[in-house]
Structure formats: C-alpha cells, structure tokens
Amino acid sequence: MKITRRLLVSVCVLTLSGVVPGFAMAADTIAIITPSHDNPFFKAEADGAAAKAKELGYDTMVLVHDDDANKQNELFDSAIAAGVKAIILDNAGADASVAAVQKAKDKGIPSFLIDREITTTGVAVSQIVSNNYQGAQLGAEEFVKLMGEKGNYAELVGKESDTNAGIRSQGYHDVIDQYAELKSVAKQTANWSQTEAYTVMESILQAHPDIKGVISGNDTMAMGAYAALEAAGRKDVIVVGFDGSNDVRDSIKNGGIKATVLQPAYSQAQLAVEQADKFIKTGSTGLEEKQLMDCVLINADNAAKLETFALSN
C-alpha cells in the first residue's frame, strides 16, 4: 500500500517535471541519501544535513534508499545525472555500497558517509561514524548495573548486512560476558524493525518467561520489545536501547525503557556537510577518512535534556 502511494507520488512528480523543460542552475546541489525516514534517527540525519547545506548556500536533493542496495544504486545514478557536487550517504550495506560510492567517485563526485561504514577505504572521502563500540559498552555497563549483575536476558540484534549490528553486539558482550551470573537465553535479529521486534519478543517471552532483561541493538527494536512486554504484563523486564530517539526518551521519562545510548546523528550529518563543503572548495578535508564520534549514555538522569538526537547542556 505504501509502495503504491510512493509510486503515485513519483508519477505526479514525473508529470510535473514534464511541464518544466529547462532550467538554470541557481546553486550547487548536495545529495543526501539515507534509509527511510520512518525511523526518526534517519530523519534527524537528513534534516541535520539539509539544514547545514542550506546554511552553506547549497540546494539539496533528499532521497531514501529503504535499505535496498539496488535502489541505492539507482539513487546514485540520479544524483550523478543531476550533477550534484557531493553526496552525503547513510548507506544500504557495508559491502554492497562500495560499488555505488566508487561509481560516483569515478564521475568526480565525492561521497561523505555518516553512521554506517563501508568495508573499503579510499573510495569515500570521509566516513564519520558513531563510536558504536564505545557506546555499546556504555549501554552494557548500565544494563549490568540495572540487572544487579545477574539474571537471564535476551538480545535483539540489528540487520546483519550493517556493520553497526555486529559492533554493538560485540561491545555489549565484551562487557556483559565478564559477569558469569548474567545468562544470555536468546539472541535474535529483528532487523532494526519495531514490528519485527514485537513479534520476536513475544516468542522469546513464551520460551523464556523467566527473562529479566532485554538489551537491544537500536531504539526502534527496543520500542517494539517494550510494547510486547507491556502487552504481556511484563513491565518489570529491563529494556536498554541504542540511538537516543525521542520515543525512547519519553519512555525513559515514564519509567518504561530504562536507558539508551545517544548517537549524535544530527551533528554528525552537519559535520559531514561541513567536510563536503571544505572538500568542494579546497579539494581536501584535511582530516583522516575514518572518524569516530563518541556516544553518550541516556538514562532517567539526563533524558530530559535530549531532543532530536542532540543533548543540550
């Protein structure tokens, strides 16, 4: 249904574009390509990048690849054809995205990656990612504390093709596995999805009713898991997420989900645009390609200061 609607919109836009045969270039354009804005994290990225681009005098072309590498490839073709000066990308797969970024590079269009890495260096100009390992350790340390260092727990893992799913799981385990009385009874993927997490959590609950905590690879899955727990009358189960979304912030404030880890999505996207601007103007960012940004633990103490993936002082 959603697809139908999107296609319909596309067709309308296509018709419109037919009415406008030619145009003059007013300003340089930066393409901003991310996963679906259904997840507020990606919307915050796109908004942050667009705001900075506008501030620096660029037009923007905001696109979503819906975590589909084929679609991403087509979006790159569009961006290249439109003659954009740079591409800001949160990619659709660490391995699968290399070719698309390379294709743009071959056409002289630099890419600046945010949030997710690709597995090859020297193709993108910048790869600015959250320090997911550091963030996961923060989340795990809080989880261990909340669990009282013991009990059965489940883990919800993100999409396998995304490096961030693996790195967060590893960060969690490097901390949690040090505590022999914390037992992992289930480790399942819910592909970053809220609805999938709801279903997965329901079945985990049936198999392991004695569960005491759930640590999740992102906030949307944490929201899905908590909804399932709530529906089953199990609000006692400790849930910890990752991302720092407003949804989870509100849940923390209401005593639902206990903690999350903020990724500075908004400022990260802005930083990528600043580096793109510098690269366009000078041919260099003056920085290393791969850059890590620290994450921050969010719990009841500081949740009130969180707004749209940024923490106020």
How many angstroms separate the CA atoms of 190 and 271, rounded? 30
Residue from the set 4, 5, 23, 210 that interacts with other proteins by CB under 8 A: 23
Identify the residue whose tokens are 């009358």: 233
User: Which member of 134, 152, 246, 299 binds other proteins (CB under 8 A)?
Assistant: 134
The binding track of 216-255 with respect to other proteins, each residue x by CB under 8 A or -, is: ----------------------------------------
What does the alpha-carbon distance between residue 183 and residue 169 come to, in Å, rounded to a whole number? Answer: 15
- Residue selected from 38, 55, 106, 174 as contacting other proteins according to rule CB under 8 A: 174
CB nearer to other proteins: give 158 or 241. Answer: 158
Is the distance from CB of 246 to CB of 103 less than 8 angstroms? Answer: no
* C-alpha distance from residue 91 to each of 15, 36, 71, 161, 230 (Å): 29, 11, 11, 11, 33
Strand residues in the chain grouped as ranges (E): 29-34, 59-64, 86-89, 111-114, 126-130, 151-157, 182-189, 213-216, 238-240, 260-262, 290-293, 296-298, 306-307, 310-311
Closer of 245 and 268 to other proteins (Cβ): 268
For other proteins, the binding residue among 55, 74, 106, 250 (CB under 8 A) is 74
Is residue 16 at the binding interface for other proteins, with CB under 8 A as the rule? Answer: yes
**Residue 1 vs 20, nearer CB to other proteins:** 20
What length does the chain have?
313
Which residues form the interface with other proteins (CB under 8 A)? 7, 10-11, 13-14, 16-18, 20, 23, 25-27, 29, 59-61, 63, 68-71, 74-75, 77-79, 81-82, 93-96, 117, 119, 121, 128-129, 131-134, 137, 141, 160-161, 163-164, 166-167, 170-171, 174-175, 178-179, 268, 271, 286-294
